Amino acid sequence: MKNLVAVINDESKLEYDRSKSLPDQQLVYLDKMDQQMDQGIPDGPGHIFAPDQQQKAQFVANQLIYAIGSDNEQLAAATMAYLASRLPDLLQVSAVDKDGSMTIKLIYDMPYSKPETINFVKPDQLDS
């Protein structure tokens, strides 16, 4: 089982270990989250009624990034647990802040790896 990683601007902010099972109380809470979202979720100026799993996941991912940014540990933990349990193939929630606009993506096909800096050298400075 692979971990789920929340990434903001290429930096890992939070990691969820899927190998650890959740207590029954938390599983009940996640079910309640699902039931509440089934009633509708905010979407811009309106609502999405009876959202599908992908719409729920995007909404929860948005809440996760907000929770990390506002240091709301309880909300961050709940949203990570929700995403990890409902989307077992999800590897990353990746957010990029560009000019004050946040873009959030759900990534299923690429585990997080720390970016590495590559230093380029002019050909005339190479030792050969």
Contact 90, 107 (CB under 8 A): yes
Q: How far is it, in rounded angstroms, from Cα 53 to Cα 58?
A: 9
Tokens of 4: 């789920």
pLDDT digits (tens, 9 = 90+) for 75-99: 999 999 999 999 999 999 999 999 8
Query: In the chain, what are the domain boundaries?
Result: 4-125
What is the chain's mean pLDDT, rounded?
91
Beta-strand ranges (E) seen in the chain are: 4-8, 11-16, 41-43, 46-48, 92-98, 101-107
**What's the pTM value of the predicted model, to 2 decimals?**
0.84
Q: What percent of the chain has pLDDT over 70?
A: 98
Amino acid at 18: R
pLDDT at residue 94, rounded to an integer = 97
Residue with tokens 């720390």: 114
